[in-house]
Amino acid sequence: MSAVLKMSFKVLAVGISLFLAGCSGEQLSDEEKQLIGQFRLSELQPLPADPTNKYADQSGPAAFGATLFFEQRLSRDGNVACSTCHISDRQFQDDRPFGKGVGETKRRTMPLAGVAYSPWFFWDGRRDSLWAQALGPLEDQNEHAGTRTAYAQLIAREFKDRYENIFGPLPDLSAVPASAGPFGAEAERAAWMAMSDDQRAAVDLVFANMGKAIAAFERTLVHKPTRFDRFADALAAGRQPEKDAALSEDEILGLRLFVGKARCSTCHTGPRFTDDHFHNTGVPQADGKPLDLGRETAVAQVLADPFNCAGRFRDGDESACGELRFMVKEGPELKRAFKTPSLRGAASRPPYMHAGQFKSLVEVVEHYAAAPQSPDGHSELVRLKLSEREKTALVAFLKTLAQ
């Protein structure tokens, strides 16, 4: 190598190291510090009330909800509880690409910390309250696979006192079929249709109350502060981050990219790192599953749900139903749009995306950098020019949200 070439490489190396030094914590601008401060868990607003569930913040219903959450008899085969897929010591998720109950679902089990903050539930928002959400898997043939009357009968048989202490007298279920519901097997659906309106309404009320108790429990599940929060809290207080709060050069570079050039914080925003909205980010179709159109399909489902905010099982008045009333019902951006998940704890719960399409955060970052076309609809992503070091730094930063 000629001396000239060596000299120019040296200059380049010095220039690059100067640039990288500019990306270290020493050089965070006031604007960046202010921006980063918005993501701290200490900035999280108190959990909004849910006036549609008058039991939402009561400890008795929450305790009963916890019992129901871990109750395996709330299933067709007696082996599936909410906690089967929402595993309590695994961030209330199951580390699988698809949930596994009585059968296999078509999507990834979502973690539950902070779940009650969202206005919409499931990956596609096909339910508009946490208590209505809790009812969906109970009747899904791949999840708990049970029926509405079977659940009401179980409550009357096993939990009569606890139920009645909270919700008042159970209805007379003696003439109600042992297993009937709108999503069961053919005979179960027929039995449901053969019931009187009053019988169906009585069973629906017990079912809705089960959801309200489970929701009261789930509202207590919260995020814990991580290394990122300790770093950002120190930054906001004008202190030098110490011990594990001192992020490495790579982690800080990743954080700067996250809120800057890599544009992650466009959707992964605020203390929960989510905008609670639905986006098509061009993720591939899940292997062996039918084409999933996400939000586009969910709009009709939430409108048809008898337990939605417009339905008769809502507590309070309709002023709480703004999200449903002003829901976007059509448009190209609904196609294959899925909810932005929180990134808190994400680094320790692969696989990623709504059907576990990516096995690692490295694959996730590669996807966002490459910005491929969507299998259907239009991806919102724009291709990013990220160096290998920058990709590594982004992953390093994401890990600070799980430590």
Partner 1 sequence: MKKRIAAAGAAIVVVLVIAAFAAMRMMAPPDDLDLARSKTSENGLYVVTLAPEAEPVQRSKLHVWIATVQRPDGSPVEDAAIAIDGGMPQHGHGLPTAPQAGGYLGDGRYRIEGLRFNMSGWWELKLTIGSAAGKDAVVFNVVL
At what angle are helices 160-167 and 59-69 packed, to 10 degrees? Answer: 140
Q: Using CB under 8 A, which of 325, 362, 383, 403 touches partner 1?
A: 325
Contacting range for partner 1; rule: CB under 8 A; set: 95-103, 181-189, 317-325, 362-370:
317-325
Which among 355, 356, 350, 357 has a CA at the least distance from the CA of 395?
A: 350
Cα–Cα distance for residue pair 256/264, rounded to 1 Å: 10
Site for partner 1 contains 187 (CB under 8 A): no
Gap between the terminal Cα atoms of the chain: 46
Taking CB under 8 A as the rule, does residue 16 contact partner 1?
A: yes
373 contacts partner 1 (rule: CB under 8 A):
no
Select from 225-233, 274-282, 308-316, 366-374 the region that touches partner 1 (CB under 8 A): 274-282
Show the site string, 43-82: x = touches partner 1 by CB under 8 A, - = not: ----------------------------------------
DSSP for 43-104, written as a single string: GPPPPPP-TT-TTTT-HHHHHHHHHHHT-TTSSSSS---HHHHSBGGGTTB-SSSS-BSSSB
Note the maximum CA span of the chain: 96
Q: What are phi and psi of 11, to 5 degrees?
A: -60, -45
CB of 46: closest distance to partner 1 in angstroms? 13
CB of 260 to partner 1, least distance (A): 4
Least distance (Å) from partner 1 to the CB of residue 261? 5
Q: Which is nearer to partner 1, 339 or 399 (CB)?
A: 339
Nearer to partner 1, 165 or 266 (CB): 266
Beta carbon nearer to partner 1, 235 or 267? 267
Neighbours of 398 (CB within 10 A): 24
Select from 270, 311, 351, 375 the one that contacts partner 1 (CB under 8 A): 270
CA distance linking residue 176 with residue 76, whole number of Å: 17
Per CB under 8 A, 24 contacts partner 1: no
Angle 59-69/197-218 helices, nearest 10 degrees? 100
Q: Quick one: which of 61, 80, 56 has its CA closest to 159? A: 61
3-state SS, residue 241: coil
Q: Which of 72, 220, 269, 285 binds partner 1 (CB under 8 A)?
A: 269
Residue 177 burial (10 A CB sphere; 0-12, 13-18, 19+) = buried
Q: Residue 7 interacts with partner 1 (CB under 8 A)?
A: yes
Specify the 3-state DSSP secondary structure of 25: helix
Q: For partner 1, which stretch binds (CB under 8 A), given 4-12, 157-165, 213-221, 347-355?
A: 4-12
Q: How far is the CB of 343 from partner 1 (least distance, A)?
A: 15
Q: Which is nearer to partner 1, 243 or 385 (CB)?
A: 385
Q: Which is nearer to partner 1, 15 or 225 (CB)?
A: 15
Smaller CB separation from partner 1, 7 or 194: 7
What is the distance between the alpha carbons of residues 93 and 84, in angstroms, rounded to a whole number? Answer: 9
| CB-CB neighbours of 144 under 10 Å | 26
322 binds partner 1 (CB under 8 A): yes
Which stretch, 77-85, 163-171, 227-235, 272-280, contacts partner 1 (CB under 8 A)? 272-280
- With a CB cutoff of 8 Å and minimum separation 6, the contacts of 53 are 129, 130, 131, 212, 215, 216, 315
Ranges of beta strands (E only) in 83-223 are none
Q: Which is nearer to partner 1, 266 or 373 (CB)?
A: 266
Out of 1, 3, 291, 304, the residue judged to bind partner 1 by CB under 8 A: 3
326 binds partner 1 (CB under 8 A): yes
Using CB under 8 A as the criterion, what x/- string covers residues 333-352 for binding partner 1? x-------------------
Residues that bind partner 1 (CB under 8 A): 3-5, 7-9, 11-12, 15-16, 18-19, 22, 256, 260-261, 263, 266-267, 269-270, 275-277, 279, 322-323, 325-329, 331, 333, 380, 385
